[in-house]
């Protein structure tokens, strides 16, 4: 009789256990509190880190809006050419220029689409052929006369190359989001922004920084100022675009 009663109790216990379905939305008590992902359902607020009768419940900050901009001069892989200092050339290869880090990146399609950073000391120039037919030529100027080593180590976009050359330093700055402290500017995203600067390269390899204005460029050229001022007035150059600066230096080279 005792045996029968014992079997009955065991049977009822098993039946009840099988009749219940485990709530998988509940927080697993075996998971440490500091490893929970914020999307689990807790059985009580006492399970939440920092929660208690006299404390506030921690919340997830969802204000961050992500990243805007790109560190690259052109965001996509662009077919182009690389001329090495050794004289070897690579043609029709996929390239990217990281303007933020001043790095040329090459995609090796024959090696499982592995990308490599090309050693800048081995690069003389490279060209990016954009989809709209524009060719962007970048050069290194390790022999330029300047005290700024970063300029010798980086790349310049060649806007015009004659007796003198007009160069554009294509760079990118990075600014982090700023919204978490009481004095923040409420910028909720990280951002890459363009940082352009212009340089005049003279025949003697002197590199001079200029502004995109007639006065700055004429002063850097040094002579024939009256002729150049007359040309600016005659052509109604406003220097709102790179092309006006190119026209002015071309004019100087023709005098």
Give the Cβ contact number of residue 172 at 10 Å: 20
Residue 19 pLDDT grade (very low, low, confident, very high; cuts 50, 70, 90): very low
For residues 235-243, give the mean pLDDT.
96
| Residue 195 binned pLDDT confidence (cut-offs 50, 70, 90) | very high
pTM reported for the whole predicted model: 0.72
**Ramachandran bin of 205, using left for φ above 0, alpha for ψ from -120 to 50, beta for the remaining angles:** left
pLDDT at 44: 45
Give just the sign of the alpha carbon dihedral 205, 206, 211, 216: negative
Residue 21 pLDDT exceeds 50: no
pLDDT at 43: 46
Report the range of poorest mean pLDDT among 32-46, 132-146, 199-213: 32-46
As a whole number of angstroms, the distance between CA 31 and CA 2 comes to: 42
Block residue for tokens 């976009």: 157
pLDDT surpasses 70 at 17:
no
Contact 189, 214 (CB under 8 A): no
What is the Cα–Cα distance from 253 to 161, expressed in whole angstroms?
10
Higher pLDDT, residue 239 or 28 = 239
As a dihedral over the C-alpha atoms of residue 207, residue 212, residue 213, residue 214, rounded to 10 degrees, the angle is 50
H or E, element range at 156: strand 156-161
Query: What per-residue confidence (pLDDT) applies to 179?
Result: 73
58 or 127, which is more confident: 127
Q: What local confidence, expressed as pLDDT, does residue 62 receive?
A: 75
The pLDDT of residue 26: 40
How confident is residue 92, by pLDDT bands cut at 50, 70 and 90?
Answer: very high
Of residues 151 and 12, the one with the higher pLDDT is 151
Mean pLDDT of the chain: 82
> pLDDT digits over 95-109, tens only?
999 999 999 999 988
Which residue, 85, 92, 93, is CA-closest to 119?
Answer: 85
- Of the candidates 202, 122, 192, 125, the one whose C-alpha atom is nearest the C-alpha of residue 162 is 202
Calpha distance 246→233 (Å, rounded): 15
Close Cβ partners of 87 (under 8 Å, ≥ 6 residues apart) = none
Q: How far apart are the first and last CA of the chain?
A: 122
């Amino acid at each position: 009789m005792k045996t029968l009663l014992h079997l009955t109790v065991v049977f009822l216990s098993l039946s009840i256990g099988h009749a219940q379905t485990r709530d998988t939305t509940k927080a697993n008590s075996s998971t440490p509190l500091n490893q929970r992902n914020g999307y689990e359902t807790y059985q009580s607020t006492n399970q939440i880190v920092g929660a208690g009768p006299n404390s506030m419940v921690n919340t997830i900050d969802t204000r961050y809006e992500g990243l805007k901009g790109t560190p690259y001069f052109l965001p996509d892989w662009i077919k182009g050419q690389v001329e090495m200092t050794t004289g070897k050339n690579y043609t029709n290869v996929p390239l990217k220029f990281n303007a933020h880090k001043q790095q040329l990146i090459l995609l090796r399609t024959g090696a499982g689409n592995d990308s490599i950073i090309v050693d800048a000391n081995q690069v003389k120039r490279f060209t990016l052929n954009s989809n709209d037919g524009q060719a962007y030529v970048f050069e290194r100027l390790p022999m330029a006369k300047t005290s700024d080593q970063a300029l010798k180590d980086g790349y310049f976009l060649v806007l015009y190359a004659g007796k003198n050359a007009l160069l554009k330093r294509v760079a990118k700055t990075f600014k982090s989001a700023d919204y978490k402290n009481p004095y923040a500017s409420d910028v909720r995203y990280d951002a890459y922004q363009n940082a352009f600067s212009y340089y005049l390269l003279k025949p003697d390899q002197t590199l001079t920084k200029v502004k995109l204005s007639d006065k700055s460029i004429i002063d850097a050229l040094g002579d024939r100022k009256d002729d150049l001022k007359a040309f600016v007035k005659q052509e109604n150059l406003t220097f709102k675009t790179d092309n006006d600066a190119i026209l002015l230096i071309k004019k100087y080279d023709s005098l």
